[in-house]
Amino acid sequence: MSSTKEEAPAVRVLGLWASPFVIRVLIALRLKGVEHEVLEEVVGKKSELLLRSNPVHKKIPVLLHHGKPISESLIIVQYIDEVWSSNAPAVLPADPYVRAVERFWAQYIDDKFPRGIRILKGTVDGNKDEIVEQLSTALQLLEEAFLKLSNGKHYFGGDNIGYLDIALGSHVGWVRAVEKIAGVQLLDAAKVPHLVAWADRFCAHPAVMDVLPDADRFVEYSVKYGSFFPTRSSTTK
């Protein structure tokens, strides 16, 4: 006799579509071909499931795998790569040195871009001219990193989207949105031509295009809600 109660899917993601950190997780799952369910949180509120699943930081994203929670976007991406290691492509590079280098740059991205984007959106105070200069410098450094790590191929990961592609690419929607909101140019083809071409390829990838909306949707979201994290305590990562 079958049960009338439906079992929860094996893989669920707690998040908000506009969070670049949630986008990371969804891209990794799609790359690996993992079936999953997205449980969309309500802006400005935290569900009981989220509070139970991430009681320490109380923030999205959270991956629930057979009910067991994993938090922090880059940790989740690594977890997905390890658990579904037989599903191609590999997200993290096989070489330990290259893996370490990509982790360094992923941390650099998270140190620079979330705060800079918030300032350019006007959701936190800061000198916008200084932030534009800082982000432009960061992108030029990442352009150099791309040339070294890609080995002349389409992505940081080579022939396929990899760890660093996901780490940086998840911010592309908001970078393009704040260009419109603040009237600035960050992904400038005159300064970072390879990164601009990479961003276009990344956004058009089948694993990305359905979870990374165009800039206008992010602009609309910013106008409506101001931020996908109303206070520091609800920051996503």
Tell me: the pLDDT tens digits for 83-131? 999 998 999 999 999 999 999 999 999 999 999 999 999 989 999 999 9
Tell me: the pLDDT tens digits for 130-185? 999 999 999 999 999 999 999 999 999 999 999 999 999 999 999 999 999 999 99
Q: Is the domain of 42 the same as that of 109?
A: no
Tell me: the pLDDT tens digits for 21-40? 999 999 999 999 999 999 99
- CA nearest to 83, candidates 20, 10, 14, 156: 10
pLDDT of residue 236: 62
Sheet holding 68-71, edge to edge: 37-40, 11-15, 62-65, 68-71
105 secondary structure, DSSP code? H
Q: Is the domain of 104 the same as that of 37?
A: no
Distance CA 229, CA 143 (A): 29
Contact 50, 60 (CB under 8 A): yes
The pTM is what?
A: 0.92
How many whole angstroms from its chain centre is CA 109?
A: 10
Domain count, the chain: 2
The domain in which residue 19 lies consists of 11-83
Which CATH number characterizes residue 185's domain? 1.20.1050.10
Please say if the pLDDT value at position 13 is more than 70. yes
Q: Is the domain of 79 the same as that of 100?
A: no
